[in-house]
A and B are shown apart, each in its own frame.
Chain A
Amino acid sequence: MQKYKLYIFFLIVFSNTIIAQTRKHTISGFVKEKAGKETLIGVNIYLPALRTGTISNTYGFYSLTLPADSYQIVFSYVGYKSQTYHINLNADINLNIELDYMTDLTEVVITADKYELISQTSQMSMVEIPVKQVKSIPALLGEKDVLKVIQLMPGVQKGSEGSSGLYVRGGGADQNLIILDDATVYNAYHLFGFFSLFNGDAVKSIQLTKGGFPARYGGRLSSVLDINLKDGNRQKYSGEAGIGIVSSRLMVEGPIIKNKSSFIVSGRRTYIDALVTPFMPEDTRGGYYFYDLNAKINYDLDGNNKLYLSGYFGKDKFYVKYRDYFSQTKAGLYWDNATTTLRWNHLFNNKTFSNTSFIFSNYRMKIFLEETQQNTSFDMNYMSGIRDFALKYDVEYHPNPNNVIRAGILSTFHHFTPSAVVIKDDYLFNFKSEIKAIDVLESGLYIEDELKIKEKFKFNIGFRTSHFLIKNKMYMKPEPRFSGSYLLTDDMAVKLSYALMNQYVHLLSNTGIGLPTDLWVPSTENIPPQTTQQIAGGLAKDIIKYDLTVSLEGYYKKSNNTVGYREGASFLLMDDPTNAEEVNWEENMTQGQAWSYGSEFLIQRKTGKLTGWIGYTLSWTQLQFDEVNNGKKFYARYDRRHDIAIVGIYEINKNITVSSTWVYGTGNAITLPLAEYSPVPHDISNSNNDQYGNIYYGSINEYGEKNSFRMAPYHRLDLGIQFHKQFAKYERTLEISFYNLYNRRNPYFYFIGYEMYSSRRVLKQISIFPIIPSISWNIKF
């Protein structure tokens, strides 16, 4: 009897739960752009009555599970017209939305769209730049560069003039996870760092996270730059083309099967070498070129399954050929990147979204030298590279509007070739082939929950475990992540975050300039992974009346096992590769600590006639290695006390846009020579009995404390004017821009030289970019 009572009791409770559950329904679907059907990322879906909602994910999918009732749902997104729907939720509904782009600027209605407010998300330390702004901001030589625009954001610095390298919150240029459609990009630069790989034509969204990293990201310490490519217009063929001073570009997109499948192809190439080479002397020729190509195809198998295949291919080559009576020499340096991703979106049900990615990424750098003399030849190839095969699986579960649970795994097989030397020397009857390869497996497993409590508290709590396996050594490290916000008022929130990051792959660079001779190497049993813990806190406010967002953040980062070089470390990359067997990069590396802290202020406007932002960063970055600078703390080369950027884009009317950028930064910290002296090494051959023997060595420098000297501050003003004209079949934009408008001679590096007509030595500087005007012509069809 008792048993039956118990049984009935459980049955009632159980069925109540089921009944309670059957009273909930799910509304889900995909959000796309009306023209072209491009999926939209981060669209706000808000229920005013419940004061809660969700956002569309990377693939445009959203899902809300609510009790059966009628609701008003608002779909809104920066730059697009919002749409409101009234829904009677008494069964599961599949609602796919298409939003209209707001092209009409004469009547800009600033609606109180509090739904995409910065104060409403728990995510902090993240900046998003609309791609349209990237295209409007004046750039060096007219080359629109995603990474250079990111450098204008607070907390992000460039390394040196013209370089696209990112130094985020005091972290080095190798501490950024740069993802292009899920594939990791290793060397994101063209022309020794002056331009980045990312062609703005094919990019859909750019998001940079500097702190408070959600658990789904791992592998790098300082930032995540997530770049998604456009899928391709599903309705009609369209494209863009442009000719600039440095390169020309073409982008074409269109449907393969209307509304079901589309493609996009975008390429860019420099052409200066093709123009200049014919004018070079017969016996000495040289040149440089780069190209890049983005291609993507997508296909909807059915409502629940979609496939995407995207690829990137790019190459830089610098070459020199000379010939004299006796010999002929060809030499050069090239590097290339290739990435391919195959992705499969699968909807298990209207609450559960999953994505599986198969990823391939290859980076290779090669220096070659071929010398032919009469009948003999000397051939040398030096290669360095990294090849990845990765599998990524992510699941997203939306049980109710207050929770989004994500979990997944990413496993990457890395094949490192830090150095591979092949020498064929007829003269010395020598053939040498030294290829060192290292295979490692790097994985990450994560789970995170984005939750809301009582509409004022929002959190993202996550946990990631990272794992690394090399030959005879395994590392497994936990990475807790937390970010939270509390809504003080309707438009202001206070935020706090903590993240622990590990990095298993390191970039060795002994120049700091970002030359392609930088090596990617893995952690080994002698070199443990680098670790960083970061806490950040701040305030975020939306000034809705003027469409402004304001944020003020402070951060503190402590890193351990930071990678650096022994003093005098040489990788023999450019000195004497014939002795390649002496190179052991592990012995040249040393590990230490880093501290980085500061505060960032940003005021930003994303829509309207006048858009742009003002950013200010005050920061300190210090390093300490036992084997460098006698173990004393020193400032990092790129430590920048003050960093200011003011960016403004003003649309005078439909046809003319004016934009301007002003940047200011404290100078780099460098080591300056103080005095010269002659060293006297020990003369072994002299038996010490000869009173008059000596070895003359030459003079060497005595240096001051490492990085104790500040270069002059850097500042410059850029100005650009765009003239748009709409024709029947296409739109034409002519852009005239000036880089460094007031011609400031910013120092690129210092050296010791002589004053004119005198033997007094002084400090001299080389600056590379004076005022540079440029013109480019673009069409959009």
Chain B
Amino acid sequence: MKNIKLSFIIILSIILYSCEKTVDNVDVPQQEPKLVVHCYISPEDSIINAYVYLSVPIFSYYDLDNYTPVTNAIVKISDFSNEAQLLYNGFDRYTISANSFPILPGNNYRLSVSAPGYTSVEGFCKVPLYMNQTLQLLSVDSVKIDDYNYEYKYKTQFIDNNGEGDFYRIAGNMVIVYTYDSMYADTFSNILYPKYGQEYFSDKTKDGEKILSELNYYKYYYEDKINSEEEIISLCFILLTTDEHYYKFHKSLSNYTGDDPFSEPTIVYSNIENGLGVFGAYRKYVIDYY
């Protein structure tokens, strides 16, 4: 399927290569770099992480240095009565432990970030009061692809809470240990991916209904380890009850079409005022098997 589109684009590009030209008869918009902040808070987390980067204006020199995190920003989180500052961990993000600043369900929070030379930004979110705990695993199927490769299909279900305005995300994790030659063991932690369209949910047309999601895991044969045995040592499924910002951001990111000249540009959601990125909140419910 992609081949048709690809062939068409390739043929077209070859023909059109000679008709390419730099535009000089229109004024191109200039833009200043903006602060890009991503932060997701939850009462079930032990650490609050905030990532702070800068945006790079398009019509400028592409510079890899600009894609490193901003190290001298002042990042503060507030619940409108108390405030705390997140500190740079020396590597890639700003953190604070949940003990110093607990996140409580139903509360409103503000995240403000400022850095010298750039416009200050801030974002607001509200932690969902209710945590959906109706997630259950309905069935496990394994489909044989060929002699050595399998696909595991996990069918999960949860029931939306009555009342509009609920958003969810489904995920899963699986840890497998391969032992081979009765001696060596390799441990792999694998993310289970939901099928397309079954990862982020809004209850807009499904209020109060059952929502199904199927997650897949492809197990590939370990070629050079013939006598390997596998053992799933942990399997868990995660249901996040998120706020609208979390949902809109991730959903618009998954729909992002990029530089495809054949479709309308998609705008990735942001609730950071004067900046880019997202400040969202969620509740986390995990069911463990094994």
Contact = CB atoms under 8 A, between A and B. Distances in A.
Bind each other = yes
Interface of A: 286, 318, 320, 329, 331-333, 367, 369, 380, 428, 510-513, 515, 565, 567-570, 574-577, 579, 582, 587, 667, 671-682, 684-685, 688-689, 691-692, 694, 697, 699-704, 709-712, 745, 747, 749-755, 758-768, 770
Given A318-B8, A678-B67, A763-B59, 9 more contacts: A587-B205, A677-B54, A682-B40, A685-B191, A697-B253, A753-B22, A763-B28, A766-B19, A768-B19
Given A369-B4, A750-B23, A691 B59 contact: no
A674 B29 contact: yes
Contact of B89 (A691, A751, A764, A767): A691
Return the 3 tightest CB-CB contacts between A and B, nearest first: A568-B255, A680-B38, A677-B55
Given A674-B29, A675-B57, A764 B4 contact: no
Contacts of A380: 1
Contact of A761 (B4, B58, B238, B257): B58
B266 A745 contact: no
A745 B24 CA distance: 12
Given A329-B3, A582-B197, A685-B191, A745 B171 contact: no
B87 to A, nearest CB: 12
Nearest to B52: A680
Nearest to A765: B23
Contacts, number: 209
Nearest to B45: A688
A674 B268 contact: no
Interface in B242-290: 246, 249-253, 255-259, 261-268, 276-277, 280, 282
A286 B8 CA distance: 10
A367 B197 contact: no
Which of the listed residues B40, B45, B63 has the most CB atoms from chain A within 10 Å of its own CB?
Answer: B40
Nearest to A760: B61
Contacts of B252: 567-568
B256 A700 contact: yes
Interface in B232-247: 238, 240, 246
Interface residues of B, number: 81
A767 B267 contact: no
Contact of A703 (B7, B145, B255, B265): B265
A367 B280 CA distance: 41
A667 B27 CA distance: 13
Contacts of A684: 169, 171, 173, 191, 238, 240
B53 A677 contact: yes
B257 A570 contact: yes
Interface string B139-172: 0000001000000000000000000000001010
A688 B263 CA distance: 37
Contacts of A750: 23
A282 to B, nearest CB: 17
Contacts of A676: 55-56, 58
Interface in B160-207: 169, 171, 173, 189, 191, 195-197, 205
Interface in B38-76: 38, 40, 45-47, 49, 51, 53-63, 67
A511 B253 contact: no
30 contacts: A510-B264, A565-B264, A567-B252, A567-B264, A568-B256, A568-B267, A574-B2, A577-B1, A582-B197, A674-B31, A676-B56, A677-B36, A679-B38, A679-B277, A685-B171, A685-B173, A688-B49, A689-B46, A689-B47, A712-B23, A752-B259, A753-B22, A758-B61, A761-B58, A763-B22, A763-B59, A764-B21, A764-B22, A764-B23, A767-B19
Contact of A762 (B19, B59, B67): B59
Contact of A768 (B16, B61, B145): B16
Contacts of A574: 1-2, 4-5
Given A582-B197, A673-B265, A702 B19 contact: no
Nearest to A511: B262
B34 interface: yes
Contacts of B261: 749, 751
B92 to A, nearest CB: 6
A714 to B, nearest CB: 12
B59 A369 contact: no
A580 to B, nearest CB: 11
B5 A766 contact: no
Contacts of B223: none
A19 B46 CA distance: 103
A260 B218 CA distance: 73
B26 interface: yes
B58 A752 contact: yes
A511 B264 CA distance: 6
A711 B282 CA distance: 43
Contacts of A568: 251-252, 255-257, 266-267
A745 B46 contact: no
A682 B125 CA distance: 15
A704 B29 contact: yes
B105 interface: no
Given A678-B36, A752-B58, A747 B259 contact: no
A761 B191 contact: no
A16 B239 CA distance: 90
A28 B131 CA distance: 82
A765 B57 contact: no
A307 B257 CA distance: 53
B245 to A, nearest CB: 11
Contacts of B197: 579, 582
B196 A579 contact: yes
Contacts of B28: 672, 762-763
Nearest to B266: A568
A762 B22 contact: yes
B102 interface: no
B112 interface: no
Contact of A678 (B53, B145, B258, B263): B53
B53 A759 contact: no
A761 B60 contact: yes
B120 to A, nearest CB: 17
B20 A766 contact: yes
B256 A761 contact: no
Contacts of B25: 712
B95 interface: yes
Given A369-B1, A574-B1, A700-B258, A673 B47 contact: no
A674 B91 contact: no
B11 interface: yes
A288 to B, nearest CB: 10
A675 B16 contact: no
Given A568-B266, A674-B58, A761-B62, A710 B26 contact: yes
A510 B257 CA distance: 12
A182 to B, nearest CB: 35
B22 A673 contact: no
B262 A515 contact: yes
Nearest to A369: B1
A493 B196 CA distance: 62
Contacts of A689: 46-47
B265 A701 contact: yes
B262 to A, nearest CB: 5
Contacts of B23: 712, 747, 750, 762-765
Given A333-B4, A760-B61, A765-B23, A692 B16 contact: no
B45 A673 contact: no
Contacts of B59: 760-763
A321 to B, nearest CB: 10
A767 B22 contact: no
B26 A675 contact: no
A254 to B, nearest CB: 42
Given A568-B255, A749-B261, A674 B57 contact: yes
B55 A575 contact: no
Contacts of A749: 261
Contacts of A575: 1-2
A172 to B, nearest CB: 14
A106 to B, nearest CB: 46
